[in-house]
Amino acid sequence: MKRLFVMIVAMFVFVMGNNVNGVATAAEKQNLDLAENATSAIVIERDTGEVLFEKDSDKPLPPASMTKIMTMLLIMEAIEDGELKYEDMVTVSENAASMGGSQVFLEPGEKMSVDDMLKAIAVASGNDAAVAMAEHIGGTEAEFVKKMNGKAAELGLEHTSFKNTNGLPVADHYSSAQDLAIIAKELLKHENITSYTGIYEDYLRKGTDKEFWLVNTNKLVRFYPGVDGLKTGFTQEAKYGLTATAEKDGMRVIAVVMGEPTPKNRNADITAMLDYSFSQYSTKHLYSRGDVLGEAKVTKGQDKTVQAITPEQVSILHKKGEKIDEAMTNVTLVDHLHAPIEKGDVIGQLSIEKEGETLLKTDLTAAESVESASWWELFKRTLSTFAGK
């Protein structure tokens, strides 16, 4: 790799002391009086992924309907990749319609749009809708589950194994608070998802004689300012869980609890974790998703360069009240990129440094795909080079 440019920028980056980005030490995180009723818990800042508090967060536990965070992630990826559209109609199979537990009472042969299916999953936690979407994308639920586990491996999740799309009890189906937070962080890259998970009430089949009222199983969407997702979970085995996200003053956090004894305990513990996060920390926004930070040269491609962009929002996390100072932004791009290149391929790295210490490091990705140039195009370029001489 080679350094494309180094620029000194007057960014508000905060003095760290002995803690990276000024966040709490491990001891501080453990000594906080939070999530006392939960078997496992974690709260992270979304942009940086920094852990603000955790309690046995790597413990594998049944996630119940929080499984649907991964289901929704694969749906949103299919939409972003152009494989699926919100207006596409999904036909419900007998298998999908037979799902028990929380459901929206889909009928075999019924057709419903992806838009409404997402509402059914995000708001009402519809097990039937989750299976219907899995079959629509994967052909079968089993094939879709393979995609779920493949995505888990891609994200580096070490305490997650999926056996179905909806979280109904089954052997060897588990995740951890830490892994669920990572999946939620990935899901939130798709900013439109909160237009579904943030709905408190809505209707399916509106205006028909089969109109169905949806009420969000996550009551904090209504009662905690800034909460706009993501997913609750409950089975007798798992007890009560919630992966919540909230945004305040430009900072978004993700909080997860698992194994809570009651919904009241679940909501109280999440509320306390959110209160702590927003009272103690802030973020400084540096770059938005899709900002262009350079151009990398491409060998033997239809295009000779490709833009390097930030794949997600980039921010610095700091303790409230920390002193402001300046930092340096370094962008490094891959020296020899060979076509073909897929949109989203990692082609460089952004680092934020202060006095030789790295505050933040994140990948830069290709803004567009670059196909290999044909032999005729390469031949013409060679002739052009000779002609130029």
Per-residue pLDDT of the chain (389 residues; tens, 9 = 90+): 444 443 433 333 333 333 334 445 544 555 688 999 999 999 999 999 999 999 999 999 999 999 999 999 999 999 999 999 999 999 999 999 999 899 999 999 999 999 999 999 999 999 999 999 999 999 999 999 999 999 999 999 999 999 999 999 999 999 999 999 999 999 999 999 999 999 999 999 988 988 999 999 999 999 999 999 999 999 999 999 999 999 999 999 999 999 999 999 999 999 999 999 999 999 988 999 999 999 999 998 889 899 999 998 899 898 988 765 677 889 999 988 999 999 999 999 999 887 778 888 899 999 999 999 888 877 776 777 666 55
Given the residues 55, 68, 185, 239, select the one marked as catalytic.
Answer: 68
Q: How many CB atoms lie within 10 A of CB 280?
A: 16
DSSP 177: H
Residue 100 has a pLDDT of 86
Residue 380 has a pLDDT of 73
Q: Which domains does the chain have, with CATH numbers?
A: 2-18+288-388 (2.60.410.10), 32-282 (3.40.710.10)
68 is catalytic: yes
Largest Cα separation within the chain, whole Å, is 78
Residue 335 has a pLDDT of 86
Given the residues 40, 65, 93, 277, select the one marked as catalytic.
Answer: 65
Residue 4 has a pLDDT of 45
Residue 56 has a pLDDT of 96
CA distances from 264 to 126, 240, 268, 271 (A): 22, 9, 6, 10
Secondary structure class of 132 (helix, strand, coil): helix
Alpha helix positions (H), 92-203: 94-97, 114-122, 127-138, 141-154, 177-187, 194-197
Residue 349 has a pLDDT of 95
Q: How many CB atoms lie within 10 A of CB 338?
A: 12
The answer to whether 366 touches 341, Cβ cutoff 8 Å, is yes
343 is catalytic: no
Residue 27 has a pLDDT of 41
Phi/psi zone of residue 167: left (φ > 0), alpha (ψ -120 to 50 degrees), beta? left
CA distances from 219 to 200, 247, 267, 295 (A): 8, 16, 8, 46
65 is catalytic: yes
User: Residue 196 contacts by C-beta under 8 Å, 6 or more apart in sequence?
Assistant: 72, 118, 119, 121, 122, 123
User: Residue 41 contacts by C-beta under 8 Å, 6 or more apart in sequence?
Assistant: 34, 35, 53, 54, 55, 56, 57, 177, 255, 256, 257, 258, 269, 273
Residue 7 has a pLDDT of 40
